[in-house]
Amino acid sequence: MQLAGQKIAAVLEQAIGLKTESLGATTLERAVRSRMRAVECESVTSYLARLASSALELRLLVEEVVVPETWFFRDQEPFTFLARYVKHSGKDLTRESIRILSLPCSTGEEPYSIAMTLLLAGIAPTSFYIDAVDVSERVLARARLGVYGTNSFRGGDLSFRDVFFTNRDEGYVLQKNVREKVRFVQGNIIQPGFMASLGRYDVIFCRNVLIYFNEAAQGQSLELLHQALLAGGILFTGHAEAGLFSGSRLFSVAHARAFAFRRLEKPKTEGAWSDAGACDLEQPAAVLSRSAPAGKRAKTTAPRRTAVVGEAQGAAELKLVRRLADQGRLEEAVQRSEEHLRRHGPAAEWYYLLGIIRDSMGQADEAMKLLRKAVYLDPGNVDSLIHLALLAERAGDRDGAANYRRRARKIQEEGGK
Ligand SMILES: C[S@@+](CC[C@H](N)C(=O)[O-])C[C@H]1O[C@@H](n2cnc3c(N)ncnc32)[C@H](O)[C@@H]1O
């Protein structure tokens, strides 16, 4: 199967960007053999000839090789950040809607998780709509059906299942009000003109597909995604793919494990997004007085502050700086962080935050130093270890990246016991 096999791999790469080595040694061979049996082709060479002349056969082979692995609320943090972002987008949601794209959507768990997140956050169903795209018709048919087995529910907290699903003989059936929020479309991200035909979005989820692509398709997709993202919009990617975006024109959002990037350019209409998130800002003093017991609120300005009040203030300050960074006010966020460290001394959570802000500013070396300090102070700081792994990978240090990932995994496993 060697030479003809290589040519089949090249056809697939050309068609959907798939780097066939990413599938594992035998997957492509198994897929080709299965298609050869279906169309009664005796040799790989004759199958190759058929593939070259039949668009339908190419689609059917694609169906055999795609990796549809997905589940509801995969990674969780992207959804937590999404709810916050939409609530504070600065848009008047009574008049405008939030446009969201899930690409690739596979069997629908991701776009439906987006819909459930927004409904649970109290966003009116009329204030958002979701387009969900995948190259595979087979997975889209399952997505439209909205019936799921236990494999689609893998997280710890499955309370959403009781709210939005009915348990029947055929599986967990998703409610109609969630299903009808998602429009499923068949499409190929790298097919010329396809992305432009969709329009532009406030939020794009493009997770766990670029890792399967060759370099050219990754580069092409990055450019197309950038064009499809509105100014001020957010792009969510998979954790193994975040490194691809680090050197791009998008800015990393300071929310641990959301793997989110913001497009910062100024829009043509003044004020359309420049205040996005500002309504979410809490001044430290306001948080302080709210966190103190009711009867003692007046005393928060007293000279002798308790350690608890100090901690609350530190947490509020941290939250404030994170939000400044989320809004792209990076210089301001750095100044406040450095000032805090000067006044209060070293602290792992501050080094972590400053590290990811520095990384967003394209200062990878400085970011590494800060994240290492965070781990030195708090060896159990998983977020810093994961980010260090991304940075090491980006710098081409595979062993270093593997080492950081191993350490992070060990801590997570120990924590889960
Ligand atoms: C691992 S799933 C990811 C699903 C979801 N985004 C998630 O993270 O759980 C990958 C999906 O990418 C789709 N895919 C592969 N190549 C594609 C392409 N060129 N355009 C659109 N979808 C593609 C596959 O059909 C598959 O369903």
Return all residues near 244 (Cβ < 8 A) that are at least 6 apart. 210, 218, 222, 237
> Taking CB atoms and a 6 Å cutoff, what residues make up the pocket around ligand 1?
16-17, 66-70, 74, 104, 106, 110, 134-136, 139, 188-190, 207-209, 238
Ligand 1 atom at shortest distance from the alpha carbon of 109: 9
273 in a structural domain: no
- Nearest CA-CA partner of 389 in 411, 417, 414, 415: 411
- Cα of 34 to ligand 1 centre, how many Å? 21
Predicted local distance difference test score (pLDDT) of residue 265: 53
- Which among 66, 101, 105, 186 is the best mutation to test ligand 1's pocket, defined by most ligand atoms within 8 Å of the CB? 66
Q: Which of 30, 65, 100 is the last residue of a domain?
A: 65
Q: Are residues 37 and 149 in the same domain?
A: no
Indicate if 163 and 202 belong to the same structural domain.
yes
In a domain, 268, yes or no: no
Do residue 36 and residue 89 come from a single domain? Answer: no
CA Rg value for the chain: 24
Do 250 and 287 lie in one domain? The reply is: no
Q: Indicate whether 359 belongs to any domain.
A: yes
- Give the closest residue (by CA) to ligand 1 atom 26: 68
For residues 138 and 235, membership in a common domain is answered with yes
119 and 155: one domain?
Answer: yes
In the reported structure, the alpha carbon of residue 54 is separated from the centroid of ligand 1 by a whole-number distance in angstroms of 23
Among 65, 75, 106, 130, residue to substitute to test ligand 1 (most atoms within 8 Å of Cβ): 106
Q: Helix 382-394 and helix 348-360: axis angle, to 10°?
A: 30
Is 272 within a domain? Answer: no
Please choose, from the candidates 212, 211, 243, 210, the residue with its C-alpha nearest in 3D space to the C-alpha of residue 224. Answer: 210
Answer whether the bond into residue 379 is a cis peptide, omega within 30°: no
SS3 (DSSP) at 118: helix
CATH number, domain of 166, equals: 3.40.50.150
Do 96 and 186 belong together in one domain? yes
Q: In what order do the strands lie in the sheet with 128-134?
A: 182-186, 128-134, 98-102, 201-206, 229-237, 260-262, 251-252
Output DSSP code: residue 383.
H
- 90 located within any domain: yes
71 within a domain of the structure (yes/no): no
Q: Whose CA is nearest to atom 16 of ligand 1?
A: 16
Q: How high is the pLDDT of residue 106?
A: 98
Cα of 104 vs centre of ligand 1, distance in Å, is: 4
401, two tokens: 């990246």
Q: Is the pTM of this model over 0.75?
A: no
Residue ranges of alpha helices (H) inside 69-192 are: 77-87, 109-120, 137-145, 159-164, 176-179
Residues 104, 224: one domain? Answer: yes
For residue 286, what pLDDT is reported? 20
Atom of ligand 1 nearest to the CA of 190: 19
Instruction: Specify if 290 maps to a domain.
Output: yes
| Ramachandran angles phi, psi of 277, nearest 5° | 90, -15
Q: Please name which of 173, 188, 187 lies closest in space to residue 142, comparing C-alpha atoms.
A: 173
Separation between Cα atoms, residue 140 and residue 130, nearest integer Å: 14
CA of 279 to the centre of ligand 1 (A): 35
Listed as ranges, residues in the chain with pLDDT below 70 are: 1, 25, 265-310, 327, 415-417
CA of 69 from ligand 1 middle (Å) equals: 8
- The alpha carbon of 382 and the centre of ligand 1 are apart by a number of angstroms equal to 28
Domain assignment present for residue 249? The answer is yes
> Which of 65, 90, 113 is the C-terminal boundary of a domain?
65
DSSP annotation of 408: H
Same domain, 85 and 6: no
Separation of CA 152 and ligand 1 centre (Å): 16
Do 120 and 257 share a domain, yes or no? yes
CATH of the domain at 305: 1.25.40.10
Total domains in the chain come to 3
The CA 13 to ligand 1 mean position distance, Å, reads 14
Residues 186 and 308 in one domain: no
What stretches of 127-239 show up as alpha helix (H) in DSSP? 137-145, 159-164, 176-179, 194-198, 215-228
Question: Which numbered atom of ligand 1 lies nearest the CA of 134?
Answer: 22
Q: What atom of ligand 1 comes closest to residue 188's alpha carbon? A: 20
Instruction: State which of 77, 110, 134, 152 you would mutate to test the pocket of ligand 1, scoring each by most atoms of that ligand within 8 A of its C-beta.
Output: 134
* Last residue within a domain, chosen from 199, 227, 262: 262
The C-alpha atoms of residue 4 and residue 373 are separated, in whole angstroms, by 53
Host domain of residue 50: 2-65
Q: Mark whether 88 and 224 lie in a shared domain.
A: yes
